A and B are shown apart, each in its own frame.
Chain A
Amino acid sequence: MDASVSLRELMRIVIVGHVDHGKSTLVGRLFHETGSLPDGKFEAIKAMCERRGMPFEWAFLMDAFQSERDQGITIDTAQIWFKTEKRDYTIIDAPGHREFIKNMITGASSAEAALMLIDAGQGIQQQSRLHAFLLSLLGVKQIAVLVNKMDLVDFAEGRFREIERTYTDYLGSLGIVPTYIIPVAARDGDNIVNQSARMPWYKGPSLVAALDSFQPAAPLSELPLRLPIQDIYKFDERRILAGRVASGRLKVGDTLVFSPSNKTARIATIESWSAPARDRAEAGESVGITLDEQLFIERGDIASHVETAPMETNVFAAKLFWLGKTPLHLGQTYRLRLQTREVNVIVESIKCLYDPESFSAVASESVGRNDIAEVVLRSPALLALDGAADNPRTGRFVLSDGGNIVAGGIISLEGYPDQRPMVTVRSGNITAVAHGITTAQRARRNGHAGGVLWFTGLSGAGKSTIAMAVEQELFRRGFHVFVLDGDNVRRGLSANLGFAPEDRAENIRRIGEVAALFAESGQIVITAFISPYRTDRQRARLALEGSDATGGFHEIFIDADIATCERRDPKGLYLKARTGEIPDFTGVSAPYEAPLAPELVIDTDALSVGDAVADVVAYVEARFRRLE
């Protein structure tokens, strides 16, 4: 590899500020002064201006849409490239109009440093304040303030110092210390590349010198490991967990804990294609790893080292900017996107709103478009997260509504306890039926409908194993779920029944009725019985359909070949059945009537337990979350 390829560094700089404070002019001048304009561009801009009968307009360098040129406003973020002796730059020009804040955020979010323009004549305006506030939320820490149009105030030092003092105070309240405050006249090029002779009182660096002194964004490799799982691939015999390392480092042999499920495994390999083999990776890399053990892991899990795992909680405070067309309201539900995880959250409280004029905190019941607020969000499921102060990458999130991104925010965990120790505790979680409460009310509170997942299949097919694992996973996700199996039913409800066909039918009838009651109470019930007869299962279906539960009856065929089941034979039952020690054994000496039209088939000959669980969980997510 040629060493010169990587020697030049690239930095991304965003230019922000109130509309008409001269952003596009500054960019044009910067390009002109550093000889960065492509051939023919100057002439093309000149021609466009002449066609419109207007004086030469630098903004046309960035404004690419005809409507932008015609109206003289920047609608969407533009990007353009230039270089100094020291390095290459991508310049991002962000619109200054308040109505295009979403585009300003789009542009500024990827910047490593920002130039904030303030018109020397007009002074600090609303967008000068809002943009700085947004930069602080976006995590852009290096800021050079350019007090522009100094020519219009006769290069007066007094005016410059006044703006410098007021704005530094405001930035200080946001925790921002501006790296430089530079007086410029962008149109004439004062203090852009060379020191301006018209402002001898200014002793600091020119704009280009200031740019060159900014530090590249610090890599997050030194922070604890966070690997949000993006996808799981099984293109060939490998089962690869794919994701981008958000922070920290990992290497083959490391023990990882996957949050929020708390499962652990070791990294077996780091996979790659057409690249040298490697045994370690760090922040920023898109990797694929395999584990020494098959765990049920899915998109949204976060891998970390055991001793530096993220916090687990279902409630947190956040500072957010709202971009939605309709206001954010107290009590409303939105989709939280936390790295690759997606889960519903409810706005539990609005702690304060920052007044768009004064940016002081005020009380409010809602948050309007382009406003900044502090809120508390609660999720039914456990979330693995970091405070933004600890990890700028995993400490931020977006909210979406109807598929559209409506907010971005940073997390504060102060005062919230870590719930990780409680994850492994299983609760009885049976709620009593209270009359006068509607099924819809229960579903709204639970975040899902009640219903029955009726597992059926041969002994040894995997019903109980899958049922228990599904229960665990659904519970973790905030579902109200309970498994009815031989152990908890035979001991009490059906203690007076044996295993003769009629006793078995009665047993199934009772289970069907109990399951329907549970479902009516809002729970998702999983039943794990062989239930070999179609009529018995049909009766259970009718019991549920006769109830008020809205989640439905879902017959799930846990399908495995009898030979497989007999080979597994966890309790030695097939052996006893073959020797006649157990009479009427399903599949051996009694029939099994396979479902004719099950809602879901889980082929445990082909699927691992983890994959089977994933299929059932995905099925439940798709059907029980819809609340009518």
Chain B
Amino acid sequence: MDHLDQLEAQSVYILREAFNRIEKLGMLWSLGKDSNVMVWLARKAFFGHVPFPVMHIDTEKKFPEMYAFRERYAREWGLNLIVEMCPPVEATDPTLPPNARSAARKTLGLRDTIAKYGFTGIIAGIRRDEESVRAKERVFSPRGESGAWDFRDQPPEFWDYFNTDLPAGTHLRVHPLLSWTELDIWKYVRREGIPMVELYFAKDGKRYRSLGDRDITFPVDSHAQSIDEIIAELETTRAPERAGRAMDRETEDAFERLRAAGYM
């Protein structure tokens, strides 16, 4: 087994645990590279089926290419797609910096969706190498009643035994891609032939490395027009992946606060 085989086997194991142990399970589909890989891995795990709803928490500020992608692949992949809109920015915590408030809409949209459908488990495609706060996550991560993450007292998790029992009113976040890196994602996309939104590929010397809302996501300088070129670029770059995501670095703890409140 090579490195990608190992990652795939581990993610499949995690998805199957989640499906077996969690009663009301849903998967977040942001239309970005990680969540496309995640949907693909679910089809691997369940032999072509995705046996739970796939949710897009829509800020209505995504790129048109992303909406087109959503419509096409929800159909082609036979997904049980749920689209839910986010509340306006006025509903978010006013003490957060402006871009973080914009991102926090998604947290509220997710919270409302969880309540509406009664989800007890949410699969999210975060990775440890994206951001140092995410590096401290668990694979099965309990969330409090308001979706809050108690990162100061996380349960132990070892030997692939996951904490799957939870008190009423709370839910679990499940992170099957936690051990993947950005480079792993692209190598797997290449190996499996997984379709991607075209914004990831360079046009006029710019490409998106990470996709979010139109107003708080910016392209990076790049000439990588193919997956091979993206992989070559990532093997040498020292620029962080979320450099184009404005909300991460407005203040020292902006991202930590977002996550503690339930952001992905």
A-side residues, CB < 8 A to B, are: 1-2, 5-6, 8-10, 37-41, 48, 51, 62, 64-67, 75-81, 90, 102-103, 105-106, 109-110, 138, 219, 230-231, 233, 235-236, 238, 240, 242, 244, 271-275, 282, 284-286, 288, 299, 323, 337, 396, 398, 400, 402-405, 408
Contact = CB atoms under 8 A, between A and B. Distances in A.
Contacts of A235: 46-49, 51
Interface stretch (B56-64, B116-124, B126-134): B126-134
29 contacts: A6-B4, A9-B3, A41-B240, A64-B133, A64-B136, A65-B151, A66-B256, A78-B136, A105-B156, A106-B157, A106-B158, A109-B158, A235-B48, A236-B49, A242-B45, A244-B9, A272-B47, A273-B43, A273-B44, A273-B47, A274-B44, A274-B192, A284-B5, A284-B9, A286-B12, A286-B45, A288-B47, A404-B165, A405-B163
B2 A6 contact: yes
B47 A76 contact: no
Contacts of B240: 38-41
B238 interface: yes
A80 B135 contact: yes
B135 A79 contact: yes
Given A10-B3, A66-B253, A110 B135 contact: no
A64 B191 contact: no
Given A78-B132, A235-B47, A323 B1 contact: no
A10 B183 CA distance: 13
B238 A38 contact: yes
A231 B16 contact: yes
B91 interface: no
A81 B181 contact: yes
Contact of B16 (A6, A242, A404): A242
Given A1-B191, A6-B2, A288-B47, A230 B13 contact: yes
Contacts of B152: 65, 67, 75-76
B6 interface: yes
Contact of A78 (B6, B135, B252): B135
B14 to A, nearest CB: 9
A75 B150 CA distance: 12
Nearest to A74: B136
Contacts of B161: 337, 398, 405, 408
A318 B191 CA distance: 43
A65 B129 contact: no
B44 A39 contact: no
Contacts of B95: none
B53 to A, nearest CB: 15
Nearest to A244: B13
B48 A273 contact: yes
A64 B4 CA distance: 27
Contacts of A408: 156, 158-159, 161
A207 B181 CA distance: 25
Contacts of B19: 231
Interface size grouping (class) on chain B: 35 or more
B241 to A, nearest CB: 9
B24 to A, nearest CB: 17
A137 to B, nearest CB: 11
A240 B151 contact: no
Contacts of A238: 47
Interface in B1-50: 1-6, 8-10, 12-13, 16-17, 19-20, 40, 43-49
B245 interface: no
Given A9-B3, A230-B20, A405-B155, A65 B136 contact: yes
B256 A64 contact: yes
B47 A65 contact: no
A282 B6 CA distance: 12
Contacts of B47: 233, 235-236, 238, 240, 271-273, 288
Interface in B146-179: 151-152, 154-159, 161, 163-166, 179
Question: Which of B8, B16, B20 has its CB near the most chain A CB atoms (within 10 A)?
Answer: B16
A103 B133 contact: no
Given A64-B136, A286-B12, A400-B163, 8 more contacts: A10-B3, A81-B129, A103-B154, A109-B158, A230-B20, A235-B51, A403-B165, A404-B165
B16 A286 contact: yes
A48 B252 contact: yes
B159 A396 contact: yes
B190 interface: yes
A284 B43 contact: no
B119 to A, nearest CB: 18
Interface in B204-231: 228
B154 A138 contact: no
B25 to A, nearest CB: 13
A464 B100 CA distance: 64
A280 to B, nearest CB: 13
B2 A5 contact: yes
A77 B3 contact: no
A236 B49 CA distance: 9
Nearest to A63: B132
B70 interface: no
A1 B8 CA distance: 16
B264 to A, nearest CB: 16
Nearest to B165: A403
B155 A404 contact: yes
Most chain A beta carbons < 10 A, residue from B4, B19, B238: B238
Nearest to B249: A44
Contacts of B187: 5
A56 B233 CA distance: 31
State the 7 A-B residue pairs at the shortest beta-carbon distance, nearest first. Answer: A403-B165, A109-B158, A6-B2, A64-B132, A102-B156, A286-B12, A66-B253
Nearest to A408: B158
Contact of A286 (B4, B13, B158, B190): B13
B163 A403 contact: yes
A78 B154 CA distance: 13
Contacts of B228: 2
A402 B239 CA distance: 45
